[in-house]
Amino acid sequence: MTYRNVLLVLHIASAAAWLGANLVQLALTPQFARKGGEVAASWFEAASWLGKRYYNLVGIVLAVTGILLVQETGYEWSAGFVAVGITVIVIGAVLGITFFAPEGERLAAASRQGGTVAWNRYVAVALVDTSLVLLTIAAMVWKWHA
């Protein structure tokens, strides 16, 4: 197995980890949120943890392998698909730190207080994030403006 292939496997696995976790959150957030109370609180605490830890690790591996792949394959930094990848990693990091982690904590606290939890905004932002990941995958597959 070549160095490039190892990098590519790690890069694809990282993208799959990001996309997969997003899809799980999109599928399960409404179910757990509707249960309310401690069940919903636990779910949103886990979602906050994903925003603080899991996505950071995935993003770091994705970014490092992406950088190394550009260097290894000889693509230009100005290639459109490279720019899309870098931009979406930055957007994902900002969303994780400024929205998903604190919003998960807020929703967990609200769930424990027993009130109605407005989780629609959380899911809407997760849909945007997921759409950006899918857009990036398309950009990589078709090597936009390579």
Per the prediction, the chain carries an average pLDDT of 96
* pLDDT of 116: 75
* pLDDT of 86: 97
The 10s digit of each residue's pLDDT in 31-49 is: 999 999 999 999 999 999 9
Q: Contact 122/29 with Cβ under 8 angstroms?
A: yes
Rounded Cα distance between 146 and 125, Å, is: 30
- pLDDT score of 115 more than 80: no
Stretch 113-122: mean pLDDT, rounded? 88
Provide the pLDDT confidence category of residue 136 given band limits of 50, 70 and 90.
very high
Stretch 56-82: mean pLDDT, rounded? 96
Rounded Cα distance between 99 and 83, Å, is: 23
